[in-house]
Amino acid sequence: MKKLTYLLKKYLFLALLASGFMVAEVYVDLYQPRMMQLIVDEGILGLSSNGVSNLNLVISTGIRMLLIVLLGGLCGIGSALFTNVTGQGYGNDIRKACFEKVMRFSFEQTDDFSTGSLITRITNDVTQLQQLVMQMIRGLVRCLMFFVGGTAALLSLDLSFGVIAACAFPLILIDIVFVVWRTNPLFTVLQESLDKLNGIIQENVAGIRVVKAFVQEKREKGRFDEANRHLVDTQFNVQMMLSFLRPTMNIVLNIAIVGILYVGSVQVRQGTVAPGMVMAAITYISQILNGMMMLAMIFQTLSRGLASARRLGEVLDTESDIVLDPALDACFSGKRGSITFENISFAYAQSEKPVLRGISLEIAPGETLAVIGATGCGKTTLVNLIPRFYDVTEGRVLVDGADVRSYDPAALREKVTICLQKSELFSTTIRDNIALGKPGASEEEIEAAARAAQADAFILQQPAGYDTPVAERGMSLSGGQRQRIAIARALLKRSEILIFDDSTSALDLKTEAKLYEALNRDYTDVTKIIIAQRIASVQNADRIVVLDNGTVAACGSHKELMETSPLYRDIYDSQLREEAAV
């Protein structure tokens, strides 16, 4: 919440300007009944001139009213302008601050919030808070001015009119407090329902091909309908409570007006009050009670806005798990591209069972290390510790002799490039997707990386070559094409450490062999870690690590493992049998 307050401070002057213009606009509205009273009592009825009308007074006062109304309108425009600048600027700053914060979250923190919830917070919750700020600047000043100024003006006319207003106030306050008390808890539920709905939409849009492939449209429609129904029911409950607010206040308002008309008519007959004064009193009581109705709407916006502010505060106040640890000595060995795992263990936050246990491993600069093992044995988790997507539970991971926790995260990830099995491409050109990690790359560098990744041939066959647009998430390309573009992107960055996390799974063996040939020829100075399912993909690596249930079962060259590791031979034999069966 402190961050939200800090972001608002820069707009304080604009907010004060908007409030100042609003005060001027309301003052004009409060002054008009007085002029109308003058026109009726003196200009038309001529109460102080023995019943003789004064047309000149009517005209002059009417012109003054028009000029004052024009001035009030200009003040209203100024208030609206500065209020919108403040609200839109504040909302823009919050969105940018939240997005920047999310970009620094660890994977675990992103999972804790959930994608759907983060989307709701950065969009809908920001809008709710933005509306709250605009209401507080403009609406709160307006309703308070009407209440205070209108009450003072009403009492200055006749105390009996003030008594009627005093009788109406408690009824309206009881109505406001009851509705706010009942609706306030529902706004948090409403935003959480929206989180769930956005999560389902995001999952289904991203996984639409899976849904269709397994003919699960009906099931997913049922999930969506259930989440949507819960959202609608919550909104209905909120609106039902709010629907009682305005009619009740309108009833009180009209009863108060009837009361003023009755008391005023009696006093007019007695000659103690003029008709124009009664008209002014009716206008003032309407302004006062309308101000209170506006206050009720502000309380509604306040309840919803504060619920959104709490949710946004949770994002802004959450510090990334991935931070520089000043207690660690960043003592570099000078061996660029070296990696050391020192007796490391790791368990995910939501799981008590460790995924990796007691792994010690040293990788020399320029070495090609392969990692294989059964699904779920911890291969991906192991390499995710190097760029510090996660922190170890026990032990240390060293890059160039320094603990990865002593690095600035950005500096560490400049040293490490990871290419994933699921190739994430963006809605831009093929050229821009390849150059993502090195925006200033030359045409020659981009094409060289594409050739090494075995992507150049199919890119040149595209309608616009390297300038061909890529559809959302790369769906205009085949799986193998997406992987090769992602590999080209990784090669272009040319970091000291290159990790392939099963990123050649969609390539045929011939294309894969050409890729590794290019790596061994042109990237000898780069430390390479290759995770693969196929032994054919890794058998030429300098060393192969066999993981089994989160531990290193064996490590050596293909020839050494065939002689010494029964587990490796089992994997090799099973793959040979599969190939023979095909």
Reply yes or no on whether the pLDDT at 411 is more than 90.
no
493, 379: one domain: yes
Q: In one letter, which amino acid is 111?
A: D
Residue 290 lies in a domain: yes
Give the pair of three-digit tokens for residue 299.
């309380």
Residue 326 lies in a domain: no
Residue 331 lies in a domain: no
310, 374: one domain: no
List pLDDT tens digits, range 501-553: 888 877 888 888 888 888 888 888 889 999 988 888 888 889 999 998 889 89
Reply yes or no on whether the pLDDT at 232 is more than 90.
no
List pLDDT tens digits, range 12-48: 899 899 988 988 888 888 888 877 777 777 777 776 7
421, 311: one domain: no
- The answer to whether 9 touches 133, Cβ cutoff 8 Å, is no
List pLDDT tens digits, range 365-386: 989 999 998 888 888 889 989 9
List pLDDT tens digits, range 294-324: 777 777 777 778 888 888 888 888 887 776 6
306, 160: one domain: yes
The CATH code of the domain that includes 536 is: 3.40.50.300
Which segments of 412-463 are extended strands (E)?
A: 416-419
Report the distance separating Cα 423 and Cα 439, nearest Å.
19
CA angle 493/498/503 to nearest 5° reads 100
Give the pair of three-digit tokens for residue 344.
């490391």
Query: Of 317, 352, 373, which residue constitutes the final position of a domain?
Result: 317
287, 416: one domain: no
Residue 210 lies in a domain: no
Residue 222 lies in a domain: no
What local confidence, expressed as pLDDT, does residue 582 receive? 46
CA 581 remoteness from chain centre: 51
**Per the structure, how many domains does the chain have?**
2
Residue 32 lies in a domain: yes
- The answer to whether 86 touches 22, Cβ cutoff 8 Å, is no
> What is the dihedral sign for C-alpha 386, 486, 478, 535?
negative
Report the distance separating Cα 386 and Cα 155, nearest Å.
75
Domain residues for 454? 339-581
418, 287: one domain: no
DSSP letter string, 454-523: T-HHHHHTSTTGGG-B--GGGTTS-HHHHHHHHHHHHHHH--SEEEEESTTTTS-HHHHHHHHHHHHHH-
273, 355: one domain: no
The CATH code of the domain that includes 310 is: 1.20.1560.10
412, 285: one domain: no
Report the distance separating Cα 448 and Cα 445, nearest Å.
5
505, 429: one domain: yes
310, 344: one domain: no
